[in-house]
């Protein structure tokens, strides 16, 4: 089994798809690797490519702000990463081949972190992690159980920057994530004692 450091080195050396040709940095993930929640987005944008960290641009700042209102902080209780670890030029949606080439890295991240809750941010994460045909507008806010993980999808925070009307539903979804998180923590405490 890989450690996160080994995985990070493997991703840095990766040439499995053409995104390696234009990247400045690979972007593996950020946050607490012991967290119970993992947020998964699409792919790095320009800021993330420059800094080598996920969700550090405007969309990431919006997400962090919403999560801090629920007392969720990267350093404390969540881990965040993307389907693709390299930036697609001009922020285009990654192709199926690019996403599939990168998915083994995400699977290894999930094995290392062992989250209880996985939140898919936006359509690309839904397509590759929940169902190729599912539409974010119809499945968002609904819990799925897969291989022992509680999985939910919500809008990508960049979608909220384009369409403010999505903010209310996004917030409702995040509140459900907080409820599930509280359940998970209280179950763990009960079974420990
Ligand atoms: N959008 C994403 O999906 N991921 C990032 O890291 C930044 C923007």
The string of pLDDT tens digits covering residues 64-85 is 999 999 999 999 999 999 999 9
Q: State how far the Cα of 169 lies from the Cα of 24, in Å rounded to an integer.
A: 35
Taking only Cα atoms into account, the Rg of the chain, rounded to an integer number of angstroms, comes to 16
> Is the beta carbon of 94 within 6 A of some atom in ligand 1?
no
- CA 158 to ligand 1 centroid distance, Å: 8
| pLDDT for 1 | 78
Tens-digit pLDDT profile for residues 89-141: 999 999 999 999 999 999 999 999 999 999 999 999 999 999 999 999 999 99
Tens-digit pLDDT profile for residues 39-68: 999 999 999 999 999 999 999 999 999 999
Q: State how far the Cα of 193 lies from the Cα of 191, in Å rounded to an integer.
A: 6
Atom of ligand 1 nearest to the CA of 47: 7
> Is the beta carbon of 55 within 6 A of some atom in ligand 1?
yes
| pLDDT for 50 | 98
All structural domains of the chain: 4-184 (3.40.470.10)
Q: State how far the Cα of 188 lies from the Cα of 114, in Å rounded to an integer.
A: 14
| pLDDT for 123 | 98
Q: State how far the Cα of 167 lies from the Cα of 155, in Å rounded to an integer.
A: 9
Residue 180 token pair: 């599930």
Tens-digit pLDDT profile for residues 137-192: 999 999 999 999 999 999 999 999 999 999 999 999 999 999 999 999 999 999 98
Q: State how far the Cα of 54 lies from the Cα of 82, in Å rounded to an integer.
A: 7
- CA 128 to ligand 1 centroid distance, Å: 15
What's the whole-number mean pLDDT along residues 21-36? 98
- CA 80 to ligand 1 centroid distance, Å: 10
């Amino acid at each position: 089994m890989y450690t996160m450091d080994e995985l990070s080195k493997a991703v840095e050396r990766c040439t499995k798809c053409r995104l390696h040709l234009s990247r400045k940095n690979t972007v593996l993930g950020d946050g607490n690797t012991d967290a119970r929640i993992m947020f998964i987005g699409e792919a790095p944008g320009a800021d993330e490519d420059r800094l080598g960290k996920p969700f550090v641009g405007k969309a990431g700042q919006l997400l962090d702000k919403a999560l801090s209102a629920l007392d969720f902080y990267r350093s404390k209780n969540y881990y965040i990463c993307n389907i693709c670890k390299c930036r697609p030029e001009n922020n285009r949606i990654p192709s199926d081949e690019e996403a599939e080439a990168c998915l083994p890295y995400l699977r290894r991240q999930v094995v290392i972190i062992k989250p209880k809750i996985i939140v898919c941010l936006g359509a690309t994460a839904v397509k590759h992690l929940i169902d190729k045909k599912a539409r974010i507008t119809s499945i968002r806010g609904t819990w799925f159980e897969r291989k022992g993980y509680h999985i939910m999808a919500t809008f990508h925070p960049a979608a909220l920057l384009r369409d403010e009307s999505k903010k209310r539903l996004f917030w409702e979804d995040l509140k459900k994530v907080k409820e599930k998180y509280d359940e998970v923590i209280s179950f763990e405490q009960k079974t420990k004692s």
